[in-house]
Structure 1
Amino acid sequence: MLVALGMACLLLLAAVAPLRAEERIIRAHGISTFGDLKYPEGFAHFDYVNPDAPKGGTFSTWGFGTFDSLSPYILKGNAAALSTVFFDTLMTGSLDEPDAMYGLVAHTIEYPESREWAIFHMRPEARFADGTPVTAQDVVFSYEVLRDKGQPAYRVLFKDFKSVEAIDDLTVKFTFNADGALRELAMSAAGLPIFSRAYYETRDFAESTLEPPLGSGAYTLDRVDPGRSVSYKRRDDYWARDLNVNVGQNNFDILQVEYFADYTTAFEAFKAGAYMYREEFMSLLWATGYDFPAVQSGAVKVETLPDGRPAGTQGFWFNLRRPIFEDPRVRQAIGMAFNFEWANESLFYGIYARTDSFWENSTMQAVGLPSEAELALLEPLREHVPETVFSEPAFTPAVSSPDNVADRRVLRAAGRLLEDAGWTVGADGIRVNAAGQPLRIEVLNDSASFERIINPYVENLRRLGVDAVYTRVDSAQSQEREKKFDFDIVTRRYSMSQTPGIELRGIFGGEAADVEGSNNIAGVNNVAVDSLIKTIENATTREDLETAVSALDRVLRAMHIWVPQWYKGEHNIAYFDMYERPYTDTPPPNGMGELSIWWFNADKAQALRASGAIR
């Protein structure tokens, strides 16, 4: 036994020894993008939790559309909401740091200052739900199966992974390409879901299924009604329930999601007590709908909480793979037909502001003309970016009249752009190019509640001479068409990181532009964009990171790859008064934690039942 242990130690030393003479080896309980950790080794729990939070009860919310799978990491099928809860990772993040991770399955991470490799030392007590140990071999398998059979985004993510090897049963080493995005590759490795190699010996990972997968996470499947509802139950035998990163978390016995085909039906179901928690994204309902009896009696609490994250990147996205969108003047003109000011006053009750940046509501948003630091990054890329990046302030959408959806001044300016791009008005009022082909576009959407927004936009496009149509499909069709890039214009929202990095390859990177199912919905494929993403990935200080992100933001905005919609830097939430949380007015900066750090108050729930507010 001692001989075997000694040999294992020698192997481990051999794996890291070549670099020890050249650079410092860091061994720690956590890792962050720029090296700073808030919580010291041996910390008791995260500051934002209630360590004495009671366990029990059900947290229920809603999902849009439908689902037919419990496999969230593959392209096939539409995975149920929250179906990632089955799986643990080597390390986990916190809600009060933008770029730090602490040990979960791994108790320690070891890496050189260059971050060209990372060794994770795993906890021997880690177990899958069937009682089998979580091993380094399972981690290697997880990497390989995601690379070979997972969503296409993983192949982009793993581009700079050179090798993954099990040094022994509880030690796994990731080696990265020396010229890769070394700042965050170790954290990408730390965040990979861990699958059981043995479990998938008799199952095809690439096939969607409603069989509950075997994981080592805090929850397992409770019940599933395909396309209608899914719920997960907290495991009493969860191996990591008392770890410091889990203290005060995973407080609900049941996590439940009820599915609805449209927002209005979902709202009516909430009023009737079909589910207990709702974050409201529809301004009409928020402004006019939350005065029903349960709100008036206090059974339902209605709150607005600050959101410390970037506001999200929401807009109408062009499919740049389509020839009609090759000319940026066409894209800019089509964007000008969307009258946000009218929509905000007439449809949204004035509660939104116009989005113009991909990092709205953050210090990474480009403003004015480029700074000297930005110019140092942009000048070498000048031939690949619009000249307006250098000569004009960061692009901001045209401001239209709120009094008339068809602002003639803005539409005339948009028409001139189309004329300049070679699209002239034909005898039937539809614009055609030199070959006589009409300027025809389809706006695709799967939500009935968006019709009141899209229809006026389409009408303005038709006033502009564009043969525009709105096509509404169901959620499953929409997801399938978006996966295959079978659309002209779609609405999509991305939640952007406070520390952007390698994930930008999947959203804006050229390698992902034609990968079916990728997050690069617009099909951006630009040398300058790829270069700036690489600069962001390799930034060594937050100041350098913010400069590079700002430069990327102004380039993307100048390219007119989308029609920005709106944002509100707050959470609008409503819930039956049976849930409590460890903060009053201000959530942790990275999220509200409603699924993880809130808890169920059994006495309040009983009082609601006694009053008839819920069943």
Structure 2
Amino acid sequence: MGLAQRSAALLLSIALGVTALGSSAGAQDGGEWRNGIATIGELKYKPDFSHFDYVNAEAPKGGALRLSAEGAFDTLNPVLARGEAVSGLGGVFESLMVASDDELSSMYGLLAEAVKHPADYSSVTFRLRAEAKWADGQPVTPEDVIFSLESAKKGDPQMEFYYRHVTKAEKTGEREITFTFDEPNNRELPQIVGQLVVVPKHWWEANGADGKPRDITRTSLEIPMGSGPYKVASVSPGAAINYELRDDYWGKDLNVNVGQHNFRTIIYRYYADREVMFESFRSGNEDYWWENRAQRWATGYNFPAVQQGRIKRDEVENEYRKAGVMVGFIFNLRREKFADPKVREALNYAFDFEELKRTIFYNSYDRIDSFFYRTDLASSGLPEGRELEILNEVKDKVPADVFTKPYVNPVNGDPAKLRENLRKAVGLLREAGYELKGNRMVNAKTGQALSFEIMLGGPTIEPVALAFARNLKMIGVEATVRSVEQSQFTNRWRARDYDVMYNGWAESINPGNEQAEYWGSDAAKREGSQNYSGISDPGVDALIRKVIFSKDRDDQVAAVKALDRVLLANHIIVPTYSSKTSRIAFWDTVAHPDPLPEYSIGLPSTWWSTKAGK
């Protein structure tokens, strides 16, 4: 999605304050059956709720939704990290639980009708719905869930890391699966398991359409079978995919599904160039557009369809209300040239955000100054209170600056400020052992010039990267900019084949176990992890554990702020910018609930076709 990625909701003072389903099981056999899990406050929806408040329960069924995607795809395998996965496959497969889009961190039963866990969170048990069926009519079973967990861990290094705390998954009843964890009091783990995408064991262990055994560890363009509301109707490899609503979907009347999955068909067309994508939308070939260019949003919507009201435009905060973000130029610390934090800090002084904001951003963005930007988890000023206590507990493992120097991005914007900041950059590079020789910044001992490549996943960020490179050249640093197509970008970051890349991390309002995937030392060693920078730091590792095992919300917020502060002090990224709204445009062929879900745009699940039934 850009930046997307899996951002788990986590660890707070978890309250499972809902009415029990069925009889109370009691703590002696794993807790009470519940209809969901809330990690902030109590569940909003009781077991007998009819539908989520944010849906249009009377939304018409039918019509088409036409969407565009960038790049290409080469696999329909939902559990494999290799290859380029196709868009929209989430409508074919389901998870044990599903999130509510008007709560900060709540999940309700989908394939599972109930969940329970003991008070120490050492395990979790799910009870599958008796009516849950695969598209071929066979029931979803505990064996399917266990097979899915094993396949996810085998096929995706991130999932192997994500589910590493699950030591055992076993069938404990006719429709029950129990997951046992390797340590107690990690209160996020029940939700992590609830997010597991479930695939049919019997289908994957049978022969494929070509008569050969299927292999879930390999990419595949064979149309898969799932349990979800949609099926794949047709595929044009790498170019397009067509999904069709299933009339025989087992869960169409389930409360978590009412008012959703309204389009009869959903079509994704793939484009190599985002400019061509926009022209296709403008011409009426697609129904929806998410705008990522401030200039085009400001000046490029003066064509007839907009003027006539056939295309509607809106800026909405929904997606950002429970999410933080850090995005920018990420250093690969596995490269010796970036080993010294002074080098990394120095290069930030050459990024002139203020000039870019004035000239090409149309004042649409703000500079990012936290790994939890836009949230109340962002650190600021000097540490105090519980945050200071936590930092003192790891004082010997973190940079001394975190106690005395707030993180502040350099401010440029005019020639005088830029010259002063470039002088500061040169000073830091000298402290790191570099010197200017002629017009080149070189290592004083080895004579090696400081140069690197900035890898981009497409041309959109090129003007920003090129401006950064021009400023770096003023201090003798040679930065080349290279845009690659999306599949190559993905393969290269997975293989750690880059000096600097433009990427980022999305953060939930409730951080926890995923922090180890982003910044942990174990993740730094693992190819394909989201520890893009390769940071491997004992202080960061210690703070990650303090986040995961926070005793309550206040303690968690303090631990996250401490972690944020230490990550900033390590200068693993030159932070760039972010918007506070999503800029969306859509034709009058589609409509959405008003208001939208509090924390989501809700596309495609809650939208519908205005042509349905016509």
TM-score normalised per structure 2: 0.91
**Which residue number in structure 1 is paired with residue 103 of structure 2?**
97
Equivalences for residues 340-351 of structure 1 within 5 A: 340-351=353-364
Question: 2 CA distance for matches of 1:529 and 1:98?
Answer: 26
Out of 108, 118, 142, the residue aligned to residue 112 of structure 1 is: 118
Question: 2 CA distance for matches of 1:562 and 1:473?
Answer: 20
Out of 395, 398, 405, the residue aligned to residue 410 of structure 2 is: 398
Question: 2 CA distance for matches of 1:276 and 1:494?
Answer: 28
**Which residue number in structure 2 is paired with residue 151 of structure 1?**
156
1:26 equivalent to 2:32? Answer yes
Q: Which moved more, 1:57-66 or 1:478-487?
A: 57-66
1:602 equivalent to 2:608? Answer no
Question: 2 CA distance for matches of 1:240 and 1:405?
Answer: 64
Equivalences for residues 352-391 of structure 1 within 5 A: 352-391=365-404
Equivalences for residues 505-524 of structure 1 within 5 A: 505-524=516-535
Deviation readout 1:563-614 (Å, 9 max, x if unpaired)? 1111111111100012222224xx33321102111111117x97xxxxxxxx
Equivalences for residues 112-511 of structure 1 within 5 A: 112-147=118-153, 149-179=154-184, 182-201=186-205, 202-307=213-318, 308-393=321-406, 395-401=407-413, 403-404=414-415, 407-511=418-522
Against the structure 1 CA distance between its residues 577 and 34, is the aligned structure 2 distance closer, same or farther, given a 3 Å change threshold? closer
Question: 1 CA distance for matches of 2:392 and 2:430?
Answer: 31
Question: 2 CA distance for matches of 1:485 and 1:85?
Answer: 31
SS of alignment partner, residue 521 of structure 1 = coil
Contact map agreement 1:439 1:467 (CA 8 A) in 2: yes
Deviation readout 1:74-129 (Å, 9 max, x if unpaired)? 12111112223221111111001121111111111121111111111111111111
Contact map agreement 1:183 1:539 (CA 8 A) in 2: no
**Which residue number in structure 2 is paired with residue 611 of structure 1?**
none
Residue type at the aligned position of 1:597: T
Deviation readout 1:479-514 (Å, 9 max, x if unpaired)? 111110100111113321121111222111211112
Residue type at the aligned position of 1:309: K
Contact map agreement 1:262 1:449 (CA 8 A) in 2: no
| Superposed displacement of residue 406, structure 1 | 8.5
Residue type at the aligned position of 1:481: R
Against the structure 1 CA distance between its residues 392 and 100, is the aligned structure 2 distance closer, same or farther, given a 3 Å change threshold? same
Contact map agreement 2:324 2:508 (CA 8 A) in 1: no
Question: 1 CA distance for matches of 2:120 and 2:562?
Answer: 26
Deviation readout 1:444-471 (Å, 9 max, x if unpaired)? 1132232211111111111111121112
Residue type at the aligned position of 1:96: D
Residue type at the aligned position of 1:330: V
Contact map agreement 1:128 1:134 (CA 8 A) in 2: yes
Question: 2 CA distance for matches of 1:519 and 1:571?
Answer: 24
Instruction: Kindly report the root-mean-square deviation, in angstroms, between the aligned alpha carbons of the 2 structures.
Output: 1.8
SS of alignment partner, residue 479 of structure 2 = strand
Question: 2 CA distance for matches of 1:327 and 1:93?
Answer: 42
Residue type at the aligned position of 2:446: A
1:591 equivalent to 2:596? Answer no
Question: 1 CA distance for matches of 2:584 and 2:505?
Answer: 20
| Superposed displacement of residue 223, structure 1 | 2.0
**Which residue number in structure 1 is paired with residue 55 of structure 2?**
49
| Superposed displacement of residue 311, structure 1 | 4.3
Residue type at the aligned position of 1:88: E
Against the structure 1 CA distance between its residues 305 and 128, is the aligned structure 2 distance closer, same or farther, given a 3 Å change threshold? same
SS of alignment partner, residue 119 of structure 1 = strand
Contact map agreement 2:332 2:500 (CA 8 A) in 1: yes
Question: 1 CA distance for matches of 2:532 and 2:364?
Answer: 28
Contact map agreement 1:505 1:533 (CA 8 A) in 2: yes
Question: 2 CA distance for matches of 1:229 and 1:414?
Answer: 48
SS of alignment partner, residue 419 of structure 1 = helix
| Superposed displacement of residue 35, structure 1 | 5.9
| Superposed displacement of residue 168, structure 1 | 3.2
Where does the alignment leave 5 or more consecutive residues of structure 2 unmatched?
1-24, 206-212
Question: 1 CA distance for matches of 2:594 and 2:554?
Answer: 30
Question: 1 CA distance for matches of 2:324 and 2:298?
Answer: 20
SS of alignment partner, residue 505 of structure 1 = helix
Contact map agreement 1:311 1:567 (CA 8 A) in 2: no
1:81 equivalent to 2:75? Answer no
Residue type at the aligned position of 1:91: M
| Superposed displacement of residue 150, structure 1 | 2.1
Q: Which moved more, 1:132-141 or 1:505-514?
A: 505-514
Question: 2 CA distance for matches of 1:315 and 1:28?
Answer: 41
| Superposed displacement of residue 439, structure 1 | 0.8
Residue type at the aligned position of 2:441: I
Q: Which moved more, 1:238-247 or 1:520-529?
A: 520-529
Contact map agreement 1:276 1:576 (CA 8 A) in 2: yes
Contact map agreement 2:124 2:178 (CA 8 A) in 1: yes
Q: Which moved more, 1:239-248 or 1:422-431?
A: 422-431
Contact map agreement 1:49 1:249 (CA 8 A) in 2: yes
Against the structure 1 CA distance between its residues 405 and 446, is the aligned structure 2 distance closer, same or farther, given a 3 Å change threshold? farther
Question: 2 CA distance for matches of 1:299 and 1:198?
Answer: 47
Against the structure 1 CA distance between its residues 311 and 577, is the aligned structure 2 distance closer, same or farther, given a 3 Å change threshold? farther
Residue type at the aligned position of 1:108: A
Identical-pair percentage: 37
SS of alignment partner, residue 370 of structure 1 = coil
Q: Which moved more, 1:379-388 or 1:427-436?
A: 427-436
| Superposed displacement of residue 280, structure 1 | 0.5
Deviation readout 1:244-270 (Å, 9 max, x if unpaired)? 011111111222222222222211111
Q: How many residues align?
A: 581
Deviation readout 1:509-534 (Å, 9 max, x if unpaired)? 21111211111111121122222222
Deviation readout 1:535-561 (Å, 9 max, x if unpaired)? 222224222222111111111111101
TM-score normalised per structure 1: 0.91
Against the structure 1 CA distance between its residues 475 and 404, is the aligned structure 2 distance closer, same or farther, given a 3 Å change threshold? farther
Question: 2 CA distance for matches of 1:20 and 1:594?
Answer: 42
Contact map agreement 2:38 2:105 (CA 8 A) in 1: yes
SS of alignment partner, residue 495 of structure 1 = strand
Contact map agreement 1:311 1:569 (CA 8 A) in 2: no
